[in-house]
Amino acid sequence: MLANLVRVIVGGVFAAAMFLSAGTAHAGSLLKEGFSFPEAQSTRIVVFRPDVQVGTLRSTGQDEPNVEWTEAARTNIANEMKSQASALGLKLEFLNDFQGTDAELFDSYRALFVAVSSSVRLHGLFGDRLPTKLEPRTPENPSKRWRMDWTLGPGMSRFADLTGADYGLFFYTHDAYGSAGRKTAMIFAAMWGVAVASGVHEGYAALVNLRTGDVVWFNSDIAMGGDPREAVGATKRVGQLLAGFPGSKPALPAPALAPAR
């Protein structure tokens, strides 16, 4: 029975394990080429309620949500965002939840943000480049470069109208802590030469132009540190999420897409 359990785990997480071990890079940020905040006018940036998920990763690979952990992490992350934004010199406005039909519409865009973010991470940071993103070679651009032109679509302008803001900041974090059974199964999987992750600790953030829906800055880490269920852990987590944010002080590097090697 235990052997069957290990086979389930190995089969279910082998692809994910191979993805994580395919390269050493697991974190990075992208800035849309040529982007900078206008200097001649004030820029309003609103922060949407962080999308936080915390739970337990079972031996079978099932991610079981934990409401108490999630609420604690959401509160800690929101509080720490406000603190660190002030320390970094960022002028951010933290929004309450939308109501009624606007709330339903925003939920659909939040889900779209998660899907688009997965594409940015896979094709912009950690995985295969998309040929459709390749810039043509020109005298000004003699080497290979890929565009950062992901978007949530012009429908995001609805939230520019609602908030009066120019940009919206999205956050997402997902933690799943390995159960005792999962940790035991890891030992058996290791005996077979297969690396099985003990849990999930990922997060990403994006700055979106609310008039166009374009993603102008994106930051992600698929192996985040800090336990957001605790205040001290949330401090580390938010620091990683805000790394490379344009205009932050002290300056944090947020390079445009680098030429391919």
Q: How crowded is residue 243: how many other Cβ atoms within 10 Å of its Cβ?
A: 17
Residue 212: partners with Cβ closer than 8 Å, 6 or more residues away? 151, 154, 156, 157
* Number of structural domains the chain divides into: 1
Does a structural domain hold residue 251?
A: no
Does a structural domain hold residue 80?
A: yes
pLDDT tens digits, one per residue of 102-140? 999 999 999 999 999 988 888 877 766 677 766 676 776
Report the pLDDT value the prediction gives residue 32, as an integer from 0 to 100. 87
Whole-number average pLDDT of the chain: 78
Share of the chain above pLDDT 90, in %: 43
Mean predicted confidence (pLDDT) in 159-172: 94
Does a structural domain hold residue 191?
A: yes
Does a structural domain hold residue 248?
A: no
Does a structural domain hold residue 258?
A: no
Residue 214 domain boundaries: 2-241
Does a structural domain hold residue 252?
A: no
**Token pair 């829906």 in the structure block, residue:** 213
Does a structural domain hold residue 257?
A: no
Global pTM value: 0.76
Residue 120: partners with Cβ closer than 8 Å, 6 or more residues away? 30, 148, 150, 206, 215, 218, 220
Q: What length does the chain have? A: 261
